[in-house]
Chains A and B, each alone.
Chain A
C-alpha cells in the first residue's frame, strides 16, 4: 500500500474546549466524539456532549441529490446491457452512456447559482476519459475530439465574440483581436475568418490570410488516409511558413501574429497564455498546428512538455493537472487513484470506474481485500448513500451489482434503516424478500410485531407474523387474546379472530384460538351438538394450552344441561379421566370432575 500523498484534513470541533482529551467511535458515515479524561477514573469536567462529525456534506445538497438519482438510473441501465453482444456494437452504447452521465453533471452545474469548480473539473476529466479510453479515437480523429474537448471548456470566447459583434464598430472593439486569436487557437478558422471580414481596410493582406485559413484541413476526411492527409498538411504548413519568411503580413502585426500561430510557433503560443489559460489548451493548439496526426501513444510526450513549458517556475501543478497528465499517459489506475484522493465524494470514481470496467479497460488484478477495484469503489459509494436518511434506496441497486460483497454489505446495512412507519417497513421488507434475505425479513417483522403488540394492535401484530411466517410470534399473540378472554370473559378484536382464514394454521395456538371462538359462536347460535363436538375435538387434539383446560371444562358445564349431547359428554368425562390422571395434582380439576360425575 502506497503512502498517502496529501496531508490529512484537520477538522476543529468548536464545542469542545481546548486541551481536553477526546474519545471517539466510528459510525457508518461519521464519527462520534466526546470529551473525556485519559485516566482510569475521575470526574470529567467536560460538557458531556456528544459531537457528530460527518465526513461527507455533498450528499445533503438538494442539487446533488438530482445527480445521485439520475446517475442511479443510468447505472442500472448500464448493468443490464447484454454481455453477449460483440464489442463493436457495444462501443457506441458505452459512449452514449458516458455522454448521459456528463449531461447529468452539466445539468447540475446549470442549476447551481455559483460555479462549482469541482463539477467543472469532474466533467473535464470525464470528457477526456471518454475521448481517450471509451471512444478510443485513433490518430486523425483524436485531434478533432481533443479540439471539441477544449472548446467545450472554454466557452468564454463565444461570450466575448457576442459582445464584440453587438458593438457599434466591432473591428475597433478592444477585444476584437483577442477574439480572432482565440478562435484561431481553438482551430475555429471559419469563425475567425468571419470576424476578419470586419476588417475592411485590410482587404489585400487579409485575402491572403483567408486563403491560408481556407486551405487548412484539420483532419483526414472521407476516403483520405492518414498518410495522404499528412502529405497535404505538410504542404500547407510549408506554404504558411513561406508567407512568414517573405514578410507577406509584415504590414499588419496582428495578421503576422496569426500566421505565426498557424505555423505553430511555440514562443508565440506561449505569449498568449492569458488567452489559452490552461496548459492543456496550449497542448491541443500545439498539436493542431504542429502534429495533427498525433497518435494516442504519443500524447504523453507532448502533454508533459507542454505542462512544463506552460507553468512558469513559480507555479506548482495542481491535482487536476496530474490527473489529466495521467489520462494522457493512459494510466487509468493512476487517474482513478488521484481522483479518489482529490475528491470528497466517491460518486465520480465509482461511476467512471464502473463504466470503464464494462468497456473491459481495467486490468482485473484484485486488491488486497478480495474484491476488485470497481467493486471496492461501488461499495464505498453505496455505503455512503446508505447513511443518508433518504438515498439508502438507491444504494440497494449498487450493492446488487457487486457480486463479491454486495449482499453482505446490504444485509448489514438494511437492518439499520429506521422504521418509523409501516409503509417504510413494507418497502424495506420488499427489498429483503426479493433477495431471499430471510433472516432480515424475520427480524424486521419481529420488530414491527413487537411494536404493534406493545400498542395493543393485535391485528397488526398478527399481520406481521403472517408475513414472516413466524409461528412463535403468532403463538404469542394468541396467548394475549386468550389472556384477555380469561380476564374479561369476552373476546376483543372479533373482526380479526372471526376472519383468520388459512392464517389460522400458522401456529397451533392460533388454530386453537380460532376454533375456540368458533365454539362460542356455535353455542351462541344454539347449535349445541356441533358445539360439543368441537369442544371435544379441541380437547382430544392436544392443541389446547394447559392453562386453558380449566376454562374448557368450565365451558363444557352448561352443555351438560343440553339433553342431545349426552353422548359427547360421556366422551368428555372419559377424556377428563385421562386429564385427571395426567395432572392429578391440580385440585381444581379434581374438584371439577366431581361436578361432572354428579351430572352423570
Chain B
C-alpha cells in the first residue's frame, strides 16, 4: 500500500503545524491548518486549506495540495502553536512573547488580537517561550526560564505565575484534567501541577530511572486521563501511568534522534504518531482486542525496534508476556514509516480524522488525507 502525501515547498522551515478543530457534532472533515516558521529573519504564521472533500473545484495538480489562505509576520521563532477556538491561535515565541492571532475568514486576513510581550524572560535578557496549551479562555505557557504562566484570553494581565517552577528548561505542557497540567523538562522529569493549589511546587514528580534524558514532548490519552506518552532526546517513546509509580510503564525505541512531538489520535487512540529530528514520522498502531491498547498494558525495559512494519500476529499470547519478553514478532504493535523518503527533521505533526499534516526543516509541508485509522 502507498501513502498518498501531498507535498508543497513553502520557502520557510516549519516548526509547528496544527489542524483547526472541527466540531464533533458536524461531520466536517479537517480542512484548514495553521503553521508557524522558525529560523527566518522574518518568521510567519500561515493558514492553509486543503479544500473540502468531494469539492468540484479541484484544480490541476495533486488533489489536496495545500493552498495558502493568508499569512502574518511573527516576531521570533514560532516555538509552539495551538488553536484557541475556530478563529484564534496562540503562539509561543522565541522572544518570550505569547500572542493571540485572529484569522478573519471572510477577508482571509490575520490580525494580532492580544499579546503579552515579555511573558517569559530573564532579568536581563529574553527567554524563549517553549510551549503553550489552551482550554479556552485559559492559556498556560512554559519557557526556558522555568516559569509556568496562566493567562486568560481577553484579560490583559497575567492570571498566575509560578516562578522557578523548574530549574531547567520546560519543553512542553499539556492538560491532564481541567485543573491539572503536566510539564516535561530538560532533566527528564514529568511534573504534575494542580492549578487549584496555591503552592508553587508540583504535586508529583515522575522520572525515568537511569539517565536524565531531556524530554521534549508529552501527550495525554484522549479517553484515559492517567495515561501519558512522552518523547525526548534519545528518541524513545515512553508511556506512563501517572497514578501508579514514578517510572514509565513501557519504553520503546522509536527514533535515532530527538523526538519532537507525540500525538494520540484524538478519536481513535489505538493509534499514536511520533516525529523526529531524524527525519521520520512513525505511525504506531495496536491491534489489540481489549479495551486497553497493547502499548499501555505494561512492560518495563522492553525495547521494541520499530523500523519495519510488523504484521499483527494472531494467536492467544498474553499481551503482557509479549511486552516483557520484548519479542517483537509476538507483539501486536505495528509501526510504519509514513513519509516516503528520508527528509530533514520533521518538527511537528497533527492528526485529525483521517488527515495528517506535518512540517519539516526541508521547508516542506506534507498532508495525507487517507491515514489508515
Known contacts A463-B168, A501-B207, A502-B210; is-contact A69 B362 (Cβ 8 Å): yes
Judge whether A389 and B39 touch: CB under 8 Å. Answer: yes
One of B83-91, B120-128, B311-319 contacting the partner: B120-128
How far apart are B265's CB and chain A's nearest CB, in angstroms?
26
Chain A residues positioned under 8 Å from B38 (CB to CB) = 423-424
Judge whether B9 and A66 touch: CB under 8 Å. Answer: yes
Chain B residues numbered 1-53 whose CB sits less than 8 Å from any CB in chain A = 9-13, 15, 38-41
Judge whether A459 and B185 touch: CB under 8 Å. Answer: yes
Judge whether A463 and B39 touch: CB under 8 Å. Answer: no
Interface centre among B40, B122, B342, B344 (most CB of A within 10 A): B344
Chain B residues positioned under 8 Å from A77 (CB to CB) = 341
Chain A residues numbered 425-480 whose CB sits less than 8 Å from any CB in chain B = 426-427, 430, 434, 455-460, 462-463, 466
Chain B residues positioned under 8 Å from A495 (CB to CB) = 166-167, 189, 191, 202, 205
CA distance A502 to B207 in the complex (A): 13
- Tell whether A421 is near chain B: CB-to-CB under 8 Å: yes
Judge whether A455 and B145 touch: CB under 8 Å. Answer: yes
Chain B residues positioned under 8 Å from A423 (CB to CB) = 15, 38, 77, 79, 128, 130
Chain A residues positioned under 8 Å from B15 (CB to CB) = 423
Judge whether B207 and A455 touch: CB under 8 Å. Answer: no
Closest-by-CB residue of A relative to B94 is A421
- For B77, give its contact among A76, A421, A462 (CB under 8 Å): A421
Closest-by-CB residue of A relative to B13 is A390
- For A457, give its contact among B168, B362, B363 (CB under 8 Å): B168
Judge whether A427 and B187 touch: CB under 8 Å. Answer: no
Judge whether A65 and B144 touch: CB under 8 Å. Answer: no
CA distance A420 to B40 in the complex (A): 12
Judge whether A457 and B40 touch: CB under 8 Å. Answer: no
CA distance A502 to B345 in the complex (A): 30
Judge whether B343 and A459 touch: CB under 8 Å. Answer: no
Judge whether B127 and A463 touch: CB under 8 Å. Answer: no
Chain A residues positioned under 8 Å from B82 (CB to CB) = none
How far apart are A119's CB and chain B's nearest CB, in angstroms?
16
Chain A residues positioned under 8 Å from B123 (CB to CB) = 455
Known contacts A460-B169, A463-B169; is-contact A501 B212 (Cβ 8 Å): yes
Judge whether A459 and B79 touch: CB under 8 Å. Answer: no
Judge whether A503 and B79 touch: CB under 8 Å. Answer: no
- Tell whether B258 is near chain A: CB-to-CB under 8 Å: yes
- Tell whether A228 is near chain B: CB-to-CB under 8 Å: no
Judge whether A63 and B258 touch: CB under 8 Å. Answer: no
Judge whether B258 and A459 touch: CB under 8 Å. Answer: no
Interface centre among B11, B40, B210, B364 (most CB of A within 10 A): B11
How far apart are A481's CB and chain B's nearest CB, in angstroms?
10
CA distance A500 to B167 in the complex (A): 12
Judge whether B363 and A463 touch: CB under 8 Å. Answer: no
CA distance A570 to B152 in the complex (A): 61
Chain A residues positioned under 8 Å from B128 (CB to CB) = 420-423
Chain B residues numbered 250-274 whose CB sits less than 8 Å from any CB in chain A = 257-258
CA distance A184 to B146 in the complex (A): 75
Judge whether B167 and A496 touch: CB under 8 Å. Answer: yes
- Tell whether B199 is near chain A: CB-to-CB under 8 Å: no
Known contacts A463-B186, A493-B167, A495-B189; is-contact A503 B212 (Cβ 8 Å): yes
Chain A residues positioned under 8 Å from B65 (CB to CB) = none
CA distance A41 to B212 in the complex (A): 58
How far apart are A89's CB and chain B's nearest CB, in angstroms?
20
Judge whether A459 and B39 touch: CB under 8 Å. Answer: no
Chain A residues numbered 206-223 whose CB sits less than 8 Å from any CB in chain B = none
Judge whether A430 and B41 touch: CB under 8 Å. Answer: no
Chain B residues numbered 350-373 whose CB sits less than 8 Å from any CB in chain A = 361-364
Judge whether A421 and B144 touch: CB under 8 Å. Answer: yes
CA distance A423 to B216 in the complex (A): 10
Write the residues of chain B forming the contact surface with A, with a CB cutoff of 8 angstroms.
Answer: 9-13, 15, 38-41, 77, 79, 94, 122-123, 125, 127-128, 130, 144-146, 164, 166-169, 185-189, 191, 202, 205, 207, 209-212, 214, 233, 257-258, 277, 341-345, 361-364
Task: Given contacts A70-B9, A77-B341, A501-B207, list 20 more A-B pairs with CB under 8 A.
Answer: A63-B11, A69-B362, A73-B362, A420-B128, A421-B79, A421-B128, A421-B144, A426-B258, A426-B277, A427-B277, A455-B145, A456-B122, A460-B146, A460-B186, A463-B168, A499-B212, A501-B212, A502-B210, A502-B211, A502-B212
Write the residues of chain A forming the contact surface with B, with a CB cutoff of 8 angstroms.
Answer: 62-63, 65-66, 69-70, 72-73, 76-77, 389-390, 393-394, 420-424, 426-427, 430, 434, 455-460, 462-463, 466, 492-493, 495-496, 499-503
The 17 listed contacts between A and B (C-beta, < 8 Å) are A62-B11, A65-B11, A70-B9, A389-B41, A393-B13, A420-B94, A420-B128, A423-B128, A426-B277, A457-B169, A459-B185, A460-B167, A462-B168, A463-B212, A463-B214, A496-B187, A501-B209
